[in-house]
């Protein structure tokens, strides 16, 4: 019976950091849905925020900036704990082979929106790649770590009251059981729910859907952060233009040359991402524009060559040169601030199941993530998971009984999933995007419920293909986002409801959990179609 001690689903910075730490405790298996090198972490450009010893900055100031951006939903104790752990996290990254840019004997620090100080370490404009490739190199060299690429996880296995493994498939093979003492979700985000996203195509929210089906609590999923500046190039994949560009002086303009950010926020282009994204969308609507422009032509030419080589090369490949022309930009879905609710050790509440990275809601980000905090969170919380498993009670024995294969679902042959997926992305972009209203969200929810009724996913069954799995993941995430957004009668952080433009106090989390007993007795009779069965409790704890 195939088994491992620690099973990690996801091979981005969070998953690989967990693997490197947990290898000290036992055998580790890391699963990646696509190639090992493809993850949102690998695409991260800006950097990793950290207050290091000897700087003029302070943890208190970093905490204040984070809490301010989080709009009342950060958990201050968790914020302080995670940000205080930055020096140790950076040292672990250095020990694993990551290299950051220096100026002489000092770190070269940049500043991003919402930060009062320069505290972002980076490696040119490909920091995420520098981190993940260093971690991947270490993991490949570790005999206790097995890395499996192009492996689809169809469902989590549960024995009695504890998680015991997963059902997985490599390539087009048959479903197989892999048993584990502990399962850790590090699957990243859900940006593919939207028409415009900076996320890779593997970011379909699979971890959220898996955890929801296993009974874990999902909270605040309506807070989806949109990055203000992706390169506008119709017909091409979205390409992120790092916030560090604005940190180095880039400004936003209308195509006629007029700046507009000062009308929306005294911090101008360095306002938090939700403020900048809404300002851009409003200007696009007001002037009926397909894009606005990002202008860094006034900066020294050498700045782009030395600090932003990836961006410069990509723009040139598309016939643009940031040193001589303004760049057309549009906002795009970038980061899920909510996720699977976890405690200070990464535990989900489902015995044997942990979550780390973007898929988790740790209390750090609140209603809006402060730029460059997420890579730090990955490394810190991975260590928290390790500390919990190293210092906790004895790990459970591996299950002895052979797992019984679930029934395979028939293919969704009557549904053109490519067209349906595009329709879902358009629906969420238009109705549950940067600017929302109750009428649009209600229409979106009704359509999502219809699709769920047409394409159910019964309990104890596995999808027939990756396309089917991703459709169900996208649909479940879209439902959770929209349900939360409809019930949050306020505007806070990333969530801006034009019918409720003010904050509602006190701040509250919105929590959702699957109740299979109610799902089985719902009018439709299956998990995919029942929405009322996952109603949100009136949770008002800050």
HEC string of 327-351 equals EEEEEEEEEECCEEECCCCCECCCC
Residues 6+ apart with CB under 8 A from 279: 252, 260, 261, 263, 264, 265, 271
Question: What are the start and end residues of each CATH 3.90.700.10 domain in the chain?
Answer: 229-331
Q: For residue 490, what are the contacts with CB-CB under 8 A and spacing of at least 6? A: 497, 500, 502, 503, 504
Can you list the residues of the chain whose pLDDT is less than 70? 1, 399-401, 413-415, 516-542
As a whole number of angstroms, the distance between CA 496 and CA 502 comes to: 9
Q: Are 164 and 180 in contact (CB under 8 A)?
A: yes
Q: Which pLDDT score is estimated for 520?
A: 44
**pLDDT recorded at residue 527:** 34
Residues carrying CATH 1.20.58.100, the chain? 407-534
Distances (CA, A) of 432 to 94, 266, 429, 462: 40, 27, 6, 29
Active-site hit among 273, 278, 466, 513:
273
- Cα 74 to Cα 68: distance, rounded to the nearest angstrom: 9
pLDDT of residue 173: 82
Count of C-beta atoms within a 10 Å radius of residue 406: 17
Q: In sequence order, what are the residues at sequence separation of 6 or more whose Cβ sits closer than 8 angstroms to the Cβ of residue 195?
A: 422, 425, 426, 428, 429
Give bridge partners of residue 293 from the DSSP assignment: 253, 328
Structure tokens at 83: 């940000």
Question: What is the predicted pLDDT for the residue at 413?
Answer: 63
pLDDT at position 271:
86
The pLDDT, as a whole number, for residue 307 is: 84
For 229-331, CATH number? 3.90.700.10
pTM: 0.91
102 is catalytic: no
Within 151-253, where are the H helices? 206-214, 244-247
Give the per-residue pLDDT at 160: 74
Q: Where are the beta strands (DSSP E) in 10-128?
A: 28-31, 48-49, 102-103, 106-107, 109-110, 120-121
Query: What was the pLDDT predicted at 535?
Result: 34
Percent composition of the chain: helix, strand, coil (DSSP 3-state, to 5): 35, 20, 45
What pLDDT was estimated at residue 453? Answer: 92
pLDDT at position 503, please?
Answer: 95
List the CATH code of the domain at 407-534.
1.20.58.100
Q: Is 215 exposed, middle or buried (0-12, 13-18, 19+ CB in 10 A)?
A: middle
């Amino acid at each position: 019976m195939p088994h491992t001690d620690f099973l990690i689903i996801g091979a981005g910075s969070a998953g690989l950091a967990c693997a490197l730490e947990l290898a000290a405790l036992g055998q580790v298996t890391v699963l990646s849905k696509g190639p090992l090198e493809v993850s949102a972490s690998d695409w991260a450009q800006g950097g990793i925020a950290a207050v290091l010893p000897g700087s003029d900055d302070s943890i208190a100031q970093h905490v204040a900036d984070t809490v301010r951006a989080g709009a009342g939903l950060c958990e201050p104790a968790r914020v302080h704990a995670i940000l205080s752990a930055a020096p140790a996290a950076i040292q672990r990254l250095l020990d694993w082979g990551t290299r950051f840019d220096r100026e002489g004997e000092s770190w070269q620090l940049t500043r991003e929106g919402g930060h009062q100080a320069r505290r972002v370490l980076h490696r040119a404009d490909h920091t995420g790649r520098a981190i993940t490739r260093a971690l991947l190199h270490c993991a490949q060299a570790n005999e206790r770590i097995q890395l499996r690429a192009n492996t689809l996880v169809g469902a989590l296995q549960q024995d009695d009251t504890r998680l015991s493994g997963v059902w997985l498939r490599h390539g087009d093979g048959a479903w197989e059981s892999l048993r584990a003492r502990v399962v850790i979700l590090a699957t990243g985000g859900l940006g593919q729910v939207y028409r415009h996203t900076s996320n890779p195509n593997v970011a379909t929210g699979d971890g959220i859907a898996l955890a929801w089906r296993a009974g874990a609590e999902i909270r605040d999923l309506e807070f989806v952060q949109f990055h203000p500046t992706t390169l506008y190039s119709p017909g091409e994949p979205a390409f992120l233009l790092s916030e560090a560009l604005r940190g180095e002086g880039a400004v936003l303009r209308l195509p006629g040359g007029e700046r507009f950010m000062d009308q929306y926020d005294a911090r101008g282009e360095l306002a938090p991402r939700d403020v900048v994204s809404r300002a851009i969308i409003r200007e696009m609507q007001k002037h009926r524009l397909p894009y606005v422009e990002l202008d860094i032509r006034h900066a020294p030419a050498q700045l782009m060559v030395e600090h932003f080589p990836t961006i410069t090369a990509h723009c040139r490949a598309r016939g643009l040169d940031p040193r001589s022309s303004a760049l057309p930009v549009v906002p795009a879905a970038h980061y899920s601030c909510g996720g699977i609710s976890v405690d200070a050790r990464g535990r989900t509440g489902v015995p044997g199941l942990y979550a780390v990275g973007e898929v988790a809601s740790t209390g750090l980000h609140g209603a809006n993530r402060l730029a460059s905090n997420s890579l730090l969170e990955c490394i810190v919380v991975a260590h928290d998971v390790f500390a919990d498993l190293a210092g906790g009670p004895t790990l459970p024995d591996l299950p002895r009984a052979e797992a019984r294969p679930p029934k395979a679902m028939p293919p969704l042959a009557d549904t053109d999933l490519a067209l349906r997926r595009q329709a879902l992305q358009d629906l969420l972009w238009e109705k549950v995007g940067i600017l929302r209203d109750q009428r649009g969200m209600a229409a979106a929810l009704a359509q999502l419920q219809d699709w769920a009724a047409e394409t159910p996913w019964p309990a104890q069954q596995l999808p027939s293909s990756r396309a089917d799995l991703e459709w169900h993941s996208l649909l479940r995430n879209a439902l959770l986002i929209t349900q939360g957004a409809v019930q949050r009668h306020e505007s806070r952080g990333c969530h801006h409801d034009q019918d409720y433009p003010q904050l509602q106090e006190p701040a509250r989390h919105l929590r959702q959990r699957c109740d299979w007993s109610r799902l089985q007795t719902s009018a439709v009779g299956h998990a995919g179609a029942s929405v009322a069965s996952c109603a949100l409790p009136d949770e008002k704890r800050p």
